[in-house]
Amino acid sequence: MTNPALYRELPRTEHGSPEWLTARLAGIGSSEVSALFGLVDWDSAWSIWLRKTHRTPPGSDIDTEAMFWGRALEPTIRQVACQRLGLTVETPGTLQSVERPHMLYSPDGLLSDGGLLECKNTAWFMASSWNGQMSDHAELQLHHGMYVTGAQHAYAAGLIGGNRLEVVRVDRNERLIDLVVNRCDQFWTEHVLADIEPPITGTTADRESIELLHPYVGGDLHVTRQQISALHASYRQALADENDAAKRKAAAGNQIRALMDGHDRLLVGDDVWVALKNSTFRSAAFRDAEPDLYAEYLTLASLDTSELREDHPDIYARYQAKSLDLKEVA
């Protein structure tokens, strides 16, 4: 069960209102925890710091298309999840930890068995993250909520691709809660309260924050060698490492292809280690080798690969690129 002595419920506010924004900036919400661990691309410690210290305009991070549909579908996901679990639900507002007021939790539901509920609307390509388990993002979010409320278990309900609902239970893990609490404490104390900027990362969130804070103006900007030299060297070294890694990957891939000796899969015993999977059609190679056939299937827009595959499956297969799919093995 939750322990009401551990938290207080803040006054309810309308989503997106000035009051809602003010309350949201007063602490770390559970949906922000994954970013503090560097596990997501859509948010980061730096972008959170910008928000909490009022360096970005209020509301600049709300009402994306994904957020809109998440809110719109939340009641339906909650209703179906509760039906499947056979539980009833309450939907409180934002809850604030008494011990750590900078930890805020806005549950999608408090369930009649004492558990928490989080509702997720996720894309079909994330299905593998929900096969009998929940995403790391959801698990961190729920443990943040379990700390605030004292709950001993929680459920994540993930609607995948709009047509498949997975409801997964997770029990309280004190070690994970300690990690979450320590990270939130560190970030709030060392960065928000101390007003010290965390490092900028390579996330999409940081790129978008930079574009918001530093809109394009054109022209030249003169800086000192001291300002740019370390960053310039770091970028050049990363580029060299990237190129070297690409060469080593290509070499290893070619060696694996040679070992495969024209087969589809490599097995050790009954375990599949490598498999070929279809990739893009090599139109240029097909054009050079079969110019007459290429011209026959060339439309005004592009090569009609669908009809080519239907009429000449052997030729299509010859120019079907194959990529390596390396399996996880023990």
In-domain check, residue 13:
yes
Q: Looking at per-residue confidence, does 2 or 323 come out higher?
A: 2
Residue 54 shares a structural domain with residue 119: yes
- Measure Cα distances from 13 to 26, 64, 117, 191 in Å: 14, 20, 20, 27
- pTM attached to this predicted model: 0.75
Domain hosting residue 268, numbered range: 258-326
Place of tokens 């059609």: 281
Place of tokens 């209102």: 17
Place of tokens 């009051």: 19
Residue 37: its pLDDT value, please?
Answer: 95
The three-state secondary structure class of 150 is: coil
Res. 126: pLDDT tops 90: no
Residue ending a domain, among 211, 238, 272, is 211
Residue 202 shares a structural domain with residue 263: no
Kindly state the average pLDDT of the residues 76-82.
94
CA atoms within 13 A on the CB side of 235: 7
Residue 149 shares a structural domain with residue 26: yes
How many structural domains is the chain composed of?
Answer: 2
Residue ending a domain, among 211, 244, 267, is 211
- The CA distance from 120 to 156, in Å, is 7
- The CA distance from 229 to 241, in Å, is 18
Residue ending a domain, among 177, 192, 211, is 211
The torsion of the CA quartet 73, 154, 127, 63, rounded to 10 degrees, works out to: 40
- The CA distance from 125 to 225, in Å, is 45
Tokens standing for 61?
């991070």
pLDDT tens per residue across span 83-109: 999 999 999 989 999 999 999 999 999
pLDDT tens per residue across span 251-274: 999 999 999 999 999 999 999 999
Residue 309 shares a structural domain with residue 172: no
| CATH assignment at residue 156 | 3.90.320.10
Share of the chain above pLDDT 90, in %: 57
